[in-house]
Amino acid sequence: MPVKKQEAHRALELLEDYHSRLSTPQDHALRSAIERVIRIFKSRLFQALLDIQEFYELTLLDETKTVQQKTIETLLIASKWEHDNAVKTNETNRIKQQEYQQQQEELHRQQQHLLQMQILQEDSKLPIIDLPEAKLTLPKVSR
């Protein structure tokens, strides 16, 4: 489902609202997972705000720097942030690929298990036939 721009700024609020509606014991694992996501999101958001504040104070408000120096430093920080984001995106894509492969393997295992269960079920429907007892006779050996 695509993210709506008008809801993007409310992402944390929406997540916390959803979290607050989870109340049954079956929801415990999901509540814990969402709490973890919220904690990580807040931490990253706070770090991003600190980075912006530091950039603003050390670069843009520094009256000893020329406009050209500020421009260069602004472009450098933009490149750094883009690179950091690209690394995170690549890592996220790698993790998603691993998760997809694990899901496919689990699906294959489940399909194999279902197939085995069907075979066993079909075997149990076969009529039982009494077979005559096999008699083993050995030739006599003279010494």
43-84 per-position pLDDT tens digit: 988 998 999 999 999 999 999 999 999 999 999 999 988 888
pLDDT tens string 103-130: 888 888 888 888 888 877 776 666 666 6
Q: What is the mean pLDDT of the chain?
A: 84
pTM: 0.51
- Helices and strands in the chain: count of H runs, count of E runs: 4, 0
Task: Supply 65's token pair.
Answer: 């720097």
Please list, in sequence order, all residues whose beta carbon lies within 8 angstroms of the beta carbon of residue 45, skipping any fewer than 6 positions away. Answer: 12
DSSP for 100-126, written as a single string:
HHHHHHHHHHHHHHHHHHHHHHHHHHS
